[in-house]
Chains A and B, each alone.
Chain A
């Protein structure tokens, strides 16, 4: 669509990588410079970047992508329990399993388009969610969630509560208590966990960028633009869509695996429709169809979730104490609806504002700003539109 050449892309990619790797320093002034939050930026950024390959490029709105996130988490934790605490098998296995899962669900859902497609994906995700709580309890451990446990010393009777870690045992790795995920001996906690997620995000971003610029990516855009024309142009859209669906499912699986790596526990609530809705919000908020938008949307939502949900009535009183008491009390009672537990109300308002005033998301906002500056220098040729 926008003929950026390979060199411009490389610069863009390097700047993005540098930014992601230096987030701990760059975002410290706004209070986001700690690993727990930053790794969420990276994980949900990956989720949204993958989701964007389906939704942003083809326009097919899936309401069930959280299912793949959940499947990825379960798959990763099972690897921790059965094979090894090394994160590599967990991540690889999670991506493969969620890819297969996406292939199957996509194959059926893509028989329809538009709202029917959305409903089908939603139905599959809700089915997965309910199954994880009921029939599939032997695999998911139901409401308690799947956890890493102590390695069994004797014969194993209950795989949910007794781990085997065949590979670790064979290599003679000692375990004192419940071990943390590791990368060839390096414990993945704190900053290590963030940097693992950051590297995955950068890799995922690079792949998404290449897909975006490829013939495949152009076919996906053509599907969004005019599927009818594409049919009469000799292209069969279904396999393209299925490929996009599966790739985005694998991204979700990767994100799910990273959630399990940073906190080795997989619960079914990760598959609920609210989680599927969240990734839709992230993508639209940032800018669907752009490269940077989904990551930006994910980071903004996770950041505000962190800020607003931490504020409570007391902190509001403290900030507004300079006002006369009746005004202060009235204001606090109104504002307290938007913070703490009620921060979703803020998110909803933010989302409404974006959709109404900036349908292209935050990226469109930036482009408009850049447009304002460059127009004043009389240099606008329409080439520098679209940040990503």
Chain B
């Protein structure tokens, strides 16, 4: 299997705080790679470095062999990296259908296209695709509602649909089940398994071990800004360093 994402010696500090410390990670194409670790370990910082929100101080990140550090977020997305945020980032004032149409248009039109004359309703193919995706995540019957009216769980599913319609090569999920009920969490796991069949590589940041062990092919453990363990779920379960990091981090 080929590496789709290669992170090499990435460092990031905020003032005197060193958030990432010589981070190295290889994500294989087609896998689900979970990143776990106690609060404050640097998981979100790492994710922000991957999508262009933050720029690492040193080190390199290559996506499909192409360096992506320093690229603005929209360029990184156009390369095929989509992200689901910890708190859903959606277009609250627009309908669900529009929420999904916008990323679909971004995929088709690129970062900018002055298409001020053609009616949105004439883009039948995109609308059909959008309705299809909404069906996949179980929101089709609400497609004409305004997104702000959705429950938190539904907003997450909408955001997932917005990422999926772009058919990304790499999908980053930042705690996709945080704050969800057990039933919703299980639904999300099923949904993520279903989209896993489409061969999208995924990086999942998650605290819920149930989710992690249900989905991940490979797990990396981040503690105090650096990876302390990396392996299959079974290897990670038995790793004493991981246990210590979690107990030391007073988590679980």
Residues of B within 8 Å of A235, CB to CB, are 74, 102, 106, 111-112
Contacts A217-B116, A243-B114 given: A234-B103 contact, CB under 8 Å? yes
- CB-based contact B121/A3 at 8 Å: yes
By beta carbon, the residue of chain A nearest B92 is A225
A150 to B12, CA, bound (A): 71
- CB-based contact A214/B117 at 8 Å: yes
Q: Which of A6, A230, A234, A236 sits near B166, CB closer than 8 Å?
A: A234
Verify if B109 is at the interface (C-beta below 8 Å from A). Answer: yes
A239 to B162, CA, bound (A): 22
Verify if B239 is at the interface (C-beta below 8 Å from A). Answer: no
Shortest Cβ distance from A142 into chain B, in angstroms? 38
Contacts A5-B121, A218-B102, A234-B77 given: A229-B89 contact, CB under 8 Å? yes
- CB-based contact A213/B119 at 8 Å: yes
Residues of A within 8 Å of B77, CB to CB, are 231-234
Among residues 212 to 231 in chain A, which have CB atoms less than 8 Å away from a CB atom of chain B? 213-219, 221-222, 224-226, 228-231
By beta carbon, the residue of chain B nearest A5 is B121
- CB-based contact A222/B94 at 8 Å: yes
A217 to B123, CA, bound (A): 14
The 0/1 profile, CB within 8 Å of B marked 1, for residues 12-34 of chain A is: 00000000000000000000000
- CB-based contact A1/B51 at 8 Å: no
Most buried by B among A221, A235, A382: A235
The 0/1 profile, CB within 8 Å of B marked 1, for residues 323-341 of chain A is: 0000000000000000000
Verify if B181 is at the interface (C-beta below 8 Å from A). Answer: no
Q: Which of B74, B95, B101 sits near A234, CB closer than 8 Å?
A: B74
- CB-based contact B116/A214 at 8 Å: yes
- CB-based contact A214/B121 at 8 Å: no
A228 to B85, CA, bound (A): 11
Residues of B within 8 Å of A214, CB to CB, are 115-120
- CB-based contact B94/A1 at 8 Å: yes
A214 to B114, CA, bound (A): 10
Verify if A112 is at the interface (C-beta below 8 Å from B). Answer: no
Residues of B within 8 Å of A219, CB to CB, are 102, 105
A372 to B91, CA, bound (A): 29
A165 to B196, CA, bound (A): 72
Residues of A within 8 Å of B110, CB to CB, are 234
Verify if B73 is at the interface (C-beta below 8 Å from A). Answer: yes
- CB-based contact B91/A226 at 8 Å: yes
Contacts A1-B94, A213-B121, A234-B77 given: A222-B102 contact, CB under 8 Å? yes
Verify if B93 is at the interface (C-beta below 8 Å from A). Answer: yes
Verify if A265 is at the interface (C-beta below 8 Å from B). Answer: no
Verify if B90 is at the interface (C-beta below 8 Å from A). Answer: yes
A240 to B121, CA, bound (A): 20
Residues of A within 8 Å of B113, CB to CB, are 215
A231 to B112, CA, bound (A): 11
Shortest Cβ distance from A215 into chain B, in angstroms? 4
- CB-based contact A236/B102 at 8 Å: no
- CB-based contact B94/A225 at 8 Å: yes
By beta carbon, the residue of chain A nearest B102 is A222
Shortest Cβ distance from A260 into chain B, in angstroms? 27
Verify if B107 is at the interface (C-beta below 8 Å from A). Answer: yes
Shortest Cβ distance from B147 into chain A, in angstroms? 9
Residues of B within 8 Å of A307, CB to CB, are none
Residues of A within 8 Å of B97, CB to CB, are 3
Q: Which of A1, A6, A231 sits near B119, CB closer than 8 Å?
A: A6
- CB-based contact B89/A216 at 8 Å: no
Q: Which of A218, A221, A243 sits near B105, CB closer than 8 Å?
A: A218
Contacts A234-B78, A234-B166, A235-B111 given: A215-B123 contact, CB under 8 Å? yes
5 A-B pairs within 8 Å (CB atoms) are namely A217-B120, A221-B91, A228-B89, A232-B74, A232-B83
Beyond A1-B95, A218-B98, A225-B94, 15 extra complex contacts between A and B, CB < 8 Å = A1-B94, A6-B119, A215-B109, A221-B98, A225-B92, A226-B89, A229-B90, A230-B102, A231-B77, A232-B83, A233-B103, A233-B166, A234-B110, A239-B114, A382-B144
Q: Which 5 A-B pairs have the closest CB atoms?
A: A234-B77, A216-B116, A225-B91, A236-B111, A229-B89
